[in-house]
Structure 1
Amino acid sequence: MDVLYRDEKVASAASSVAGRLVADGAPARLAAGDPTVWGEDAEAGAAGPPLRASRELLPDMGRLAEQARAAGLTNVVLAATGAAALAAEVICDTADVPLTVLDTSDPGQLRRALADPLESTIVVAAGSAVETECCLLIYEELFAQAGIEAAERIVAVADPRSPLGQRALERGYRLVPPTGPDAASPVGGPGPALPGDVQGGAGQPADGQGLAGLRARGLGAALSAAALVPSALAGADVARLLDDAEEVLPLLSRDSGNPGLALGAALGGAALGGRDKLLLEDQLSAIAGLPDWIEALVAESTGKHGKGILPVVGADPNRSHDELVIAIESDVGDVRVEGPLGAQFLVWEYAAATAALLLDVDPADRPDVTEPADNAAALLALPELPAGAPALVDGPVEVYGPVTAKDLPGVFIELLHAIPADGYLAVTAYLDRLAAFDAPVPDGADFEQMTDAWMMADPATLRALLALRTDRPVTFGWGPRSWHATGQYHKGGPQNGVFLQITGAVAEDVTVPGKPYTLGRLQLAQALGDLESLETRGRPAVRLHLTDRAAGVAHLLAAAQEV
């Protein structure tokens, strides 16, 4: 695992802050998961699964995967949110094995997943998000309607005392308790249950058992059961991931030759010097999608109390005064990071904790991350969602917010002009992130022509079009996935963001069994709850509602090209 500085100013700043960290004994304390690095009153929290416990899961994960393949269960669905879901997606995309990640409330995206054969489907559920609960309820009903025993098709990764864990115990699902002393005994339903992880403490040595407390500081848990179980079922080599992570682990307690310290010092040192926009470049990397996971890790770990590092994915450098470009396996950036995926996960987790320490924030502290969900729950209790009246209508696009423009290009111009000199524009789309692949392509089209057709039907293309028209960073995220990624930064980070939200009318909704709302209503409530959180903090925000999704996306992209 190599971290190479390619910019003298970055190297100088990193050397200065690294020296300070070493003098304080921080490298070894971070590797041991000592929470008092963030202050004597810092709480350890619930320790995440250390590497040794994850390795102890391997035989059982292997047996479960073999049983699933023998039963013809080749369609693996992960109902989860947050960094673990993003990590599983990276693992499986890199291994080129199929995995469906459902971290959305979009009815179209759920319907797309439900179109896969139910007889070959196995579902892994993890976490407590409402999206996860809705997906689980929908699959439970579908299994029942098809005469399929759900206990043979659902694996829950949850604390036995949590609502998901209790549901799994009551219904006989296989249960993987991710943490805690109660997890020391195997728990599960039909078939061999996966044994639980063993609780780790803050004083563990960095010998394969350490970093449990470090994970408890709110980091990515990329090598936890929530990411590894679905990845193993999908066919990824999770043992190799752990091998690569364990190889780099002893380095993370060192004062020198420590790639986590080198990367974290670069991140934190640059941010303290004003370079707090982190551009992630991975075009030459064989690892697929790692910047999306890094974005969630860094934004959520550092973005709070008016501070933070803003990750920017998929953007070309502007060479602005506040940019830091980190390249994965290429030499185009200020810092080059190279290594296998398992090592990358661990080093980036350590680096995020180091950067947070330098910024004087606790990565486990997420004061703003639950507010949009609370807002959405309150809105769902109302007879009607208070969407308000549009400020203007431009074709299939309704514009909501404090705008004075007379058309959509004018709205984009207002938003771009509103970005502060040290700020950014964040675009969040509460839509189906796979709908662009439904776009019609010409008969006999080659791959380039198909890609062009998909891009011109993809809301994410708006990021690139607007970025061409400003020298400030433009980010893009899918809601509510972004709640568990950049959402904490958007609400708790520096007060220099401008926000554009996109929602869309639902043509074919999905009923949620046992709930008084549909997925479409939930999705809009989540978008409005997110918007409320931004507006109460004085963040300038505009919502664009597509009355026809496909036509609306095309209209958005055409308008952006007129700016």
Structure 2
Amino acid sequence: MTEVDNTALSVVIGDGPWAQEAGELADRLAAEAVAGELTAGNPTLWGADAESEAAVRLAWTTLPKTSRPLLGEIAALRGELHAEGVDRVVLAGMGGSSLAPEVITAAAGVPLTVLDTTDPGQVADALAGDLSRTVLVVSSKSGSTVETDSHRRIFEHAFEAAGIAAASRIVVVTDPESPLETAARAAGYRHVFRADPHVGGRYSALTAFGLVPAGLAGADVEKLLAEAASAAPVLAADERDNPALLLAGALGAALARGAEKVVFADNDSGLPGFADWAEQLIAESTGKDGTGLLPVVVEGVSAPNFVDAGDDATTVALGSPDAAATVTVSGSLGASFLLWEYATAIAGRLLGINPFDQPDVEAAKVAARSLLDSPSGATAPTPLLVDGPVEAYVTGSWRPPEGAGLDELIGAFVAAVPEKGYLSLQAYLDREQDASAAVLRRELARNTGVQTTFGWGPRFLHSTGQYHKGGHQNGAFLQITGVAEEDLPVPGRPYSLATLQLAQALGDATVLADRDRPVLRLHLTDRLAGIARLAQTVQGVSR
């Protein structure tokens, strides 16, 4: 057993030759001074092809210090808002702009309404809150994220309709000189936070993208930075007991042995939702050039999640050790953010890829835009079959047996997953009202023995979406869409949220099918009844 415990952080690797290989890789990385060079901002660590990108993406290593000036600015704005009776924070952001603040506020036990969806029902629920007490944080690194722009337009219209000066209730976080900053200045929005442009979105937890919404909501972001600052010297040290080197060595050694999946389970970490944040960081950083590490977030360490994970997976317990865990990682939130960022970037060096680009993310966005711009819009074709509240559609070359019913259809689809491949379950639904859809992941994995991921659409497009197109091409993709009981127009745009949501699903399906991956879409004409029908169906599915 290899164990590193540095007060704020602990990394424990189980016994066996694999653990020895992880330690040997950590020794090698220490000898190559990788941690120190990374902290110093050396862009050559990932090879010539990655150098230009890495040169403008390494400022995250110093954020525990460089983000401190934000603290006073956040506290002052929060004080102003509270003096006006504004204490409800709604965050409009995707991927790195929403995952970190959601973890920070959940760990702190303070409320934050997160909009990382195009589901009209979920957005309508956020609008139904007390607007007189609401501030909207619009968070987008590029300043052109379609989901976030839609939320901004909808809330701006709602504020004005309620007799509230919208500009006084909108706070922006974006990169300098982005289209969003330009629009925000022109509209006179309450406050514009300019984030560090030399930090990529998935490494931005300790920038304004993580700190502003969490701090306005009431989380102790000063403590968060202090936790990270305490861990920074340890993570920058070129020594074997650097937990980042050991963790990177564990991930690299596992992949070399064929363990291309990393199964995460929270085990009393005290950091709810951390695995979802790590999922984006790892998948988007490593899933490219036909390789990578696919995070699989599961409900706990008990069987079958860990016990039956298989030799193509590394099991990671977050929090307390567990006998079935290959690796156990624990620590404070600020330290954990920095640990996983270091470990992922260093694992990228071991994998021989650029951990700072996302070359395959744009394809789904382009496909969705083309559907929105087409004369027919995102119009669905004739369903392959109808089973009560469930309609089935197939995209691409994969076809089920002729005349198959719903049970046979899903069974045949699972059978199409390659050996040691994975099943990706993607729900373009309301993650509050349709939360029971997430149970399907556990049931499919349990009954089929296939590694199964779950993602809320379009949120996962800003996370595991990169891996699906750029990583190991052994996935099969099961989409779930649903009829919206109510729709919301997007002011100033020729589409509604429901139209955008369907276009995103169809666009991503097209891109996946172009890569010759099996894609099955199940459309629910009644969401509640449809989820119940699917839950019944997957009970009988096996492999």
How high is the TM-score relative to the length of structure 1?
0.88
Shift of 1:555: 1.0
Match of 1:71 in 2: 84
Match of 1:417 in 2: 415
Shift of 1:529: 0.6
Match of 1:560 in 2: 538
| Residue 403 (structure 1) aligned to one of 397, 400, 403 | 400
The aligned amino acid for 1:70 is: A
Match of 1:486 in 2: 464
Work out whether 1:177 is the aligned partner of 2:186: no
SS state at 1:515 partner: coil
Identity among equivalent positions (%) equals: 47
Q: Distance in 2 between matches of 1:283 and 1:4?
A: 14
Work out whether 1:112 is the aligned partner of 2:125: yes
For 1:324-354, what per-residue CA distance to the aligned partner results, in whole angstroms no more than 9, with x for missing partners?
A: 1111112121111111000000000111111
Match of 2:71 in 1: 58
Q: Distance in 2 between matches of 1:275 and 1:431?
A: 31
Match of 1:168 in 2: 184
Shift of 1:139: 0.8
Match of 2:330 in 1: 338
Shift of 1:102: 0.6
Matches within 5 A, 1:460-479: 460-479=438-457
Q: Is the 8 A contact 1:47 1:179 kept in 2?
A: no
Match of 1:244 in 2: 227
For 1:372-412, what per-residue CA distance to the aligned partner results, in whole angstroms no more than 9, with x for missing partners?
A: 11111110011222422211111111111122262221122
Match of 1:103 in 2: 116
For 1:105-151, what per-residue CA distance to the aligned partner results, in whole angstroms no more than 9, with x for missing partners?
A: 10010011011011000011111310000000011111112221222
Matches within 5 A, 1:507-518: 507-518=485-496
The aligned amino acid for 2:206 is: L
Taking structure 1 as reference, are residues 522 and 122 closer, same or farther at Cα in structure 2, changes over 3 Å only? same
The aligned amino acid for 1:269 is: A
Q: Is the 8 A contact 1:398 1:545 kept in 2?
A: yes
Q: Distance in 1 between matches of 2:236 and 2:57?
A: 22
Provide structure 2 residue ranges, at least 5 long, that are not aligned to the other structure: 1-8, 300-304
Q: Is the 8 A contact 1:84 1:224 kept in 2?
A: no
Greater mean deviation of Cα atoms: 277-286 or 130-139:
277-286
SS state at 1:416 partner: helix
Shift of 1:219: 4.0
The aligned amino acid for 1:309 is: L
SS state at 2:68 partner: helix
The aligned amino acid for 1:175 is: V
For 1:228-264, what per-residue CA distance to the aligned partner results, in whole angstroms no more than 9, with x for missing partners?
A: 1010111100001000000000112212221111111
For 1:486-505, what per-residue CA distance to the aligned partner results, in whole angstroms no more than 9, with x for missing partners?
A: 00001111111011001111
The aligned amino acid for 1:526 is: Q
Q: Distance in 2 between matches of 1:407 and 1:364?
A: 44
Work out whether 1:156 is the aligned partner of 2:172: yes
| Residue 274 (structure 2) aligned to one of 284, 290, 312 | 290
Matches within 5 A, 1:149-228: 149-173=165-189, 174-179=191-196, 215-216=199-200, 219-228=202-211
Q: Distance in 2 between matches of 1:165 and 1:234?
A: 22
Work out whether 1:371 is the aligned partner of 2:341: no
Q: Distance in 1 between matches of 2:44 and 2:350?
A: 14
Shift of 1:22: 2.6
Provide structure 1 residue ranges, at least 5 long, that are not aligned to the other structure: 181-211, 437-456
The aligned amino acid for 1:121 is: T
Matches within 5 A, 1:422-501: 422-436=420-434, 458-501=436-479
Match of 1:133 in 2: 149
Shift of 1:48: 4.7
For 1:131-189, what per-residue CA distance to the aligned partner results, in whole angstroms no more than 9, with x for missing partners?
A: 00000001111111222122221110113411110011111121111125xxxxxxxxx
Q: Is the 8 A contact 1:48 1:221 kept in 2?
A: no
Greater mean deviation of Cα atoms: 242-251 or 464-473:
464-473
Following TM superposition, where does structure 1 have runs of at least 4 consecutive aligned residues deviating by more than 6 angstroms?
none
Q: Distance in 2 between matches of 1:415 and 1:285?
A: 36
C-alpha RMSD over aligned residues: 1.5
Q: Distance in 1 between matches of 2:309 and 2:297?
A: 15
For 1:472-517, what per-residue CA distance to the aligned partner results, in whole angstroms no more than 9, with x for missing partners?
A: 2111001110011100001111111011001111221001100000
Work out whether 1:231 is the aligned partner of 2:176: no
The aligned amino acid for 1:342 is: G
Matches within 5 A, 1:262-281: 262-281=246-265
Shift of 1:16: 2.4
Greater mean deviation of Cα atoms: 318-327 or 288-297:
318-327
Q: Distance in 2 between matches of 1:73 and 1:267?
A: 45
Q: Distance in 1 between matches of 2:349 and 2:409?
A: 39
Match of 1:388 in 2: 381
Match of 1:24 in 2: 32
Q: Is the 8 A contact 2:172 2:184 kept in 1?
A: yes
How high is the TM-score relative to the length of structure 2?
0.91
SS state at 1:458 partner: helix
Q: Is the 8 A contact 2:196 2:207 kept in 1?
A: no
SS state at 1:459 partner: helix
